[in-house]
Amino acid sequence: MKIIVTGSLGHISKPLTQELVAKGHEVIVVSSNPDKQKDIEALGAIAAIGTLADVDFLTTTFTGADAVYTMVPPNYAAADMMAYCRETGENFAEAIEKSEVKRVVHLSSIGAHMEKDSGLILAHRQVETIFEKLPTDVAITFMRPSGFYYNLLGFIPGIKAAGVIVANYGADDMLIWVAPADIASAVANELEVPVTGHKVRYVASDELTGNETARILGEAIGKPDLKWILISDEERQRQLETVGLSPAMAHGLVAMFSSQHTGALAEDFYRHWPKVMGKVKMADYAKEFAAIYNQK
């Protein structure tokens, strides 16, 4: 198969490219960074250098492909995150329709079933809605991974300063975690599976409470008594603004994690529990977390 992979050589796109190439597929990796071309080619893939803002570039790149993996790269510098995600989603949709691609696997997120009160996740909901308007002969899988393990790295400064993890979710809440490598494997599988219409697939690697998560990470960094402390939305908003986030970005994060605390974010996940959990468990990720923790 000729498969297009967006996301350059990011956390998911790199292992995805490696797996697809190993399976014998012709893989074209889209990147906005010309410096990535040699690295892409070193994996046995073809580099397509251009920007996701250029619909003509995307259309040309997608034309003739058997399948396309799309994802909206995070852009925390965007003045309006929702507008950025909407425009990127519209560019993808236009290029998919013009190029007549019939198979799409799109990276969305757990919580994308929610129409409100999910904070930054609403951006994913927005893109799913755009894709749902594509012609009916375009088969789409919406991948909805749970919380990425590497998001835990954001707690390192707090652990070093206060010896605890502090957030407006967690503690005794059940948290669902996922490794990018497990997402990549699931995406690779979906790209090869015939599908008609629209499908949602959740991806998760491990399920633990916040305190269980803290214990595993704490043991890995030599702090076996590490605790996860639950604070209010208002206090978390102030904390995030204090470290430099804009009020809007901070609010988006707080609302997202608040919906995780209430359980609303994972409601649809539990209705469609993945048949198989990923291979990478929190105990595996804790080794990586500890290595980064000890470098800081």
Domain extent listing, the chain: 2-146+179-203
Confidence of residue 186 (pLDDT cuts 50, 70, 90): very high
Distance CA 63, CA 100 (A): 7
Total-model pTM: 0.96
Q: Give the whole-angstrom CA distance, residue 293 versus residue 133.
A: 44
Can you read off the two tokens belonging to residue 260? 């995780």
Q: What are 64-104's pLDDT values in tens digits?
A: 999 999 999 988 777 788 999 999 999 999 999 999 999 99
Predicted local distance difference test score (pLDDT) of residue 77: 76
Q: Which residue has the tokens 């994802």?
A: 71
pLDDT attached to residue 74: 87
pLDDT, the chain, mean:
96
Model confidence at 275, in pLDDT bands (50, 70, 90)?
confident
Q: What angle do CA 164, 166, 170 make, to 5 degrees?
A: 110
Measured on CA atoms in the order 156, 159, 165, 168, is the torsion positive or negative?
negative
- Residue 92 and residue 95: Cα distance in Å, rounded? 5
Sign of CA dihedral 241, 180, 220, 212: positive
List the beta strands (DSSP E) in the chain.
Answer: 2-5, 26-31, 46-49, 67-70, 103-107, 139-145, 147-148, 164-167, 174-178, 198-203, 206-209, 227-230
Report pLDDT for 274. Answer: 80
What pLDDT was estimated at residue 294?
95
Taking domain 2-146+179-203, whether its CATH number is 3.30.70.1290 is answered by no
